[in-house]
Amino acid sequence: MAIEEHLFDSSAQAEQALAVAVASALDAGLRVRERVSLVVSGGRSPIGFFHCLRDAVLDWSRVWITLADERWLPPDNPDSNAALVTRHLLQGAASAAHFVALWNDAPSPAQAITERGAALSALPRPFDVVVLGMGEDGHTASLFPGAAGLDAALASDGEALLAAISPPEAPHQRLTLTLRALVDARQIYLLISGNTKQAVYRRACAGTPPQQLPVAAILRQSRAPVMTYIAP
């Protein structure tokens, strides 16, 4: 499936344009379906996008939101992705959206998979929109190169929605949506900022195996269309 690329002069421009595109996709979904679903990523990269998106004029009470991945930290920890979404997206009118967290009080991500997988069944699927970022190592969601369990999480024919991941370098155990879950989407958006990440993205597009650059699995799958928003 072809990747549609959008190039911008700044991260702020890319974030604003991405917010407009995502809001438009959600609004289009709400015109024909009772509820829509949005999957977002954590980390620092999406904060500007969140600030733009939360001001969109939508019937937020019909929008269901979850995370592409979560660090195994309680939501009062500042490094929690749920905390990030609460602080930066679920504000104002957007606070009416329904948020389904990936974290629970299980001792480990592996022990939460069954319960959190059941909780995700509340979201309409296929997901209307999945918004992903990418690290300089080529990871997306918490699909990290070299992580134990990566091959199973990348299996396109797998049935599992969630996988437990312990990144080789990054801190904290993670719970992540699998490739199978991420591509069960009407539209995937990938936000890329910075020259280093652009170079990694180009390598992923050019054929580097997903085991080395997991984002390649998103870029080369044929189930969901992908739009990339790229800024220096």
Could you list the pLDDT tens digit for every one of the 232 residues in the chain?
A: 679 999 999 999 999 999 999 999 999 999 999 999 999 999 888 999 999 999 999 999 999 999 999 999 999 999 999 999 999 999 999 999 999 999 999 999 999 999 999 999 999 999 999 999 999 999 999 999 999 889 999 997 778 999 999 999 888 999 999 999 999 999 999 999 999 999 999 999 999 999 999 999 999 999 999 999 999 9
Q: What is the four-CA torsion angle of 65, 110, 170, 146, rounded to 10 degrees? A: -110
Q: Which residue is associated with the tokens 């991941």?
A: 165
Q: Which domains does the chain have, with CATH numbers?
A: 3-231 (3.40.50.1360)
The size of the chain, in residues, is 232
**The tokens of 96 are what?**
């009416």
Report d(CA 135, CA 148) in Å as an integer.
18
- Whole-structure pTM value: 0.97
The closest of 229, 135, 145, 214 to 182, measured between CA atoms, is 214
Report d(CA 80, CA 76) in Å as an integer.
7
